[in-house]
Structure 1
């Protein structure tokens, strides 16, 4: 079982701005496309920066960059670059951080969190913009229905991947929490089932009370044990 990739959750039809676009054009495009930021792309459709609603608001209010503070007075210092900005290129944030379509959603979420950004333009091997992925996109797999999660675990994981006897393991899912009960043949199978369940998109946690017929983790195999009482 594999988590989804960026390619599966990203937005492909991306609204962009050219470097020479006026700030009024940028504001109009943000509103028209109902987005909070636009990748700024060059003539080859390579992202070179990001311009956001926050950037425009700072420009309009004459505020500095978020981290720009007057250390002596403890007040915001005037950012003349922002005040003098006339085009997307003047106001955009650089360098632009990007993601690849093949990235997993888990590693991408960690990257967003570590870098403190809300979205990432997605580029291909040539550096061309092919999409954009946001925090809300990455959360989408968490919204999977419980019955869809259970179906994947029973049919794909237990059935096709592990080839366990049908009905040997009972699976219930509630609010993304998977509960496993029943019996498996070998004790070593239990942690494998747990790990595979955790790899299914939408699974929050796994609780199990599986018993095993043979303790293949011991030199002398023992039989008919409960996994919670080794």
Structure 2
């Protein structure tokens, strides 16, 4: 079962600024490219921080608008790798309360930017595509279950599982794997089981 990576979703031509970029130029770039934050890179193209709209507004509120990226950026930059799963990237965004992640290669150089809006695209997958992946990849290929054993319904990204599996311990595994499918918003578990293998005999 294959899941989308950061490298597949990121903007591959990222807007960035240098430490000495003036306040007004940063504000202009955010407006021109309709973005909420911009990475600050050093002379080798490695992110050293991020300037967000919030950083600009905070600096403006303090009355010191004429300054540079180095003075107002949040540092160090929280970065991602192109081969990260989108699940990992989403968790890092949530943990650090950021809306955009600079994406760096193995040498630490900026190669892209992943935004929350990029992640939202995953949830625009059609229900039919989600159902097909669950049936073909999760149930049949990964868990080797008979397609007739488990019924899968998908409505606006919400997956409802019903039917019967052989062992009770399979139920949480099926649910967890369905949750990991791109586009799944929630999983409703209505599965039954033939044998309770959680109880010692």
TM-score where L is the length of structure 2:
0.82
Q: Distance in 1 between matches of 2:200 and 2:55?
A: 65
Give the secondary-structure state (helix, strand or coil) at the position aligned to 1:141: helix
User: Of residues 90, 96, 108 in structure 2, which corresponds to 1:109?
Assistant: 90
Q: Distance in 2 between matches of 1:47 and 1:219?
A: 54
Matched residue, 1:9: 9
**Equivalent residue pairs, number:** 200
Q: Deviations over 1:28-69 (max 9, x none)?
A: 222221112211112211112222333333344435xxxxxx
Q: Which runs of 5+ in 2 are unaligned?
A: none
User: Of residues 130, 136, 141 in structure 2, which corresponds to 1:149?
Assistant: 130
Q: Distance in 2 between matches of 1:60 and 1:187?
A: 58
Mapping 1:3-82, distance limit 5 Å: 3-63=3-63
Matched residue, 2:73: 92
Give the secondary-structure state (helix, strand or coil) at the position aligned to 1:40: strand
Please say if residues 3 and 106 of structure 1, whose CA atoms lie closer than 8 Å, have aligned partners that are also in contact: no
After the TM superposition, which parts of structure 1 deviate over 6 Å for at least 4 consecutive aligned residues? none
Q: Distance in 1 between matches of 2:123 and 2:35?
A: 22
C-alpha displacement of 1:145: 1.9
C-alpha displacement of 1:187: 4.8
Q: Report the CA distance shift for 1:85/1:151 in structure 2 as closer, same or farther (over 3 A).
A: same
Give the secondary-structure state (helix, strand or coil) at the position aligned to 2:181: coil
Q: Report the CA distance shift for 1:181/1:43 in structure 2 as closer, same or farther (over 3 A).
A: same
Matched residue, 2:163: 182
Q: Distance in 2 between matches of 1:112 and 1:23?
A: 25
Please say if residues 168 and 196 of structure 2, whose CA atoms lie closer than 8 Å, have aligned partners that are also in contact: yes
Q: Distance in 2 between matches of 1:219 and 1:29?
A: 63
C-alpha displacement of 1:216: 6.7
Q: Distance in 1 between matches of 2:196 and 2:61?
A: 69
CA RMSD of aligned residues (A): 2.6
C-alpha displacement of 1:118: 2.1
Q: Which runs of 5+ in 1 are unaligned?
A: 64-82, 221-230
Please say if residues 143 and 202 of structure 1, whose CA atoms lie closer than 8 Å, have aligned partners that are also in contact: yes
Please say if residues 51 and 69 of structure 2, whose CA atoms lie closer than 8 Å, have aligned partners that are also in contact: yes
Moved more, 185-194 or 90-99: 185-194
C-alpha displacement of 1:172: 0.7
Matched residue, 2:142: 161
